[in-house]
């Protein structure tokens, strides 16, 4: 299911924030959709105002000590009728009905987890762009290389 929305929020723990930021950047670049990446702990400091049925939130929620905090943030979004796409590792069991879509990635060493997690983030952005009819090989207003004069 690809959500035809104009805004997306991507969230993760602060230690894995680069995954959320990369996903938001890729979505902006190839599909021209506004997206923000932010730490889940900061949801109440602004991004919660954007939660609606029209603004999906993507959560990167691997197993670990902060999983319960991420689940709490997801419940806040659900309480506001927000849509949730969860990228989880194999050992994570989310409460039933919490996520609208779940993408499962394999458990792996902490050092390679950001690489493994980036694959579904990139693929999701690609699929959204293709469904919207965007040219993923020539993104609008984006230079493929930087030139210096």
Do 68 and 37 touch, CB atoms closer than 8 A?
no
Among 44, 34, 29, 45, smallest CA distance to 10 is for 34
The number of domains in the chain is 1
Q: What is the pLDDT of residue 105?
A: 94
CATH number (domain holding residue 36): 3.40.50.10490
Mean pLDDT, each 10-residue run in order, the chain (149 residues)? 57 73 88 83 77 84 83 89 90 92 91 90 90 86 70
The structure tokens 């197993």 sit at 63
- Three-state DSSP class for 33? coil
Looking at the domain assignment, is residue 21 inside a domain? Answer: yes
pTM of the model as a whole:
0.84
Q: What is the pLDDT of residue 42?
A: 78
Do 95 and 71 touch, CB atoms closer than 8 A?
yes
Q: What is the pLDDT of residue 68?
A: 86
Looking at the domain assignment, is residue 101 inside a domain? Answer: yes
Is residue 126 exposed (0-12), middle (13-18) or buried (19+ Cβ within 10 Å)?
middle
Looking at the domain assignment, is residue 82 inside a domain? Answer: yes
- Helix axis angle, 113-131 to 17-31, nearest 10°: 20
> H or E segment at 1?
none
Looking at the domain assignment, is residue 147 inside a domain? Answer: no
Do 29 and 41 touch, CB atoms closer than 8 A?
no
Looking at the domain assignment, is residue 136 inside a domain? Answer: no
Looking at the domain assignment, is residue 59 inside a domain? Answer: yes
Known catalytic residues?
144
């Amino acid at each position: 299911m690809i959500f035809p929305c104009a805004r997306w929020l991507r969230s993760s723990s602060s230690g894995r924030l680069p995954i959320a930021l990369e996903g938001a950047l890729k979505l902006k670049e190839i599909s021209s959709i506004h997206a923000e990446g932010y730490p889940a702990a900061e949801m109440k400091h602004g991004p919660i105002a954007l939660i609606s049925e029209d603004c999906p939130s993507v959560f990167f929620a691997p197993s670990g000590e902060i999983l319960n905090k991420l689940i709490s943030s997801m419940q806040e979004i659900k309480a506001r009728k927000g849509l949730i796409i969860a990228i989880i590792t194999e050992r994570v069991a989310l409460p039933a009905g919490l996520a609208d879509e779940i993408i499962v990635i394999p458990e792996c060493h902490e050092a390679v987890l950001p690489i493994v997690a980036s694959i579904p983030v990139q693929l999701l952005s690609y699929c959204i762009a293709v469904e919207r009819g965007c040219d993923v090989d020539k993104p609008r207003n984006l230079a493929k290389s930087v030139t210096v004069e």
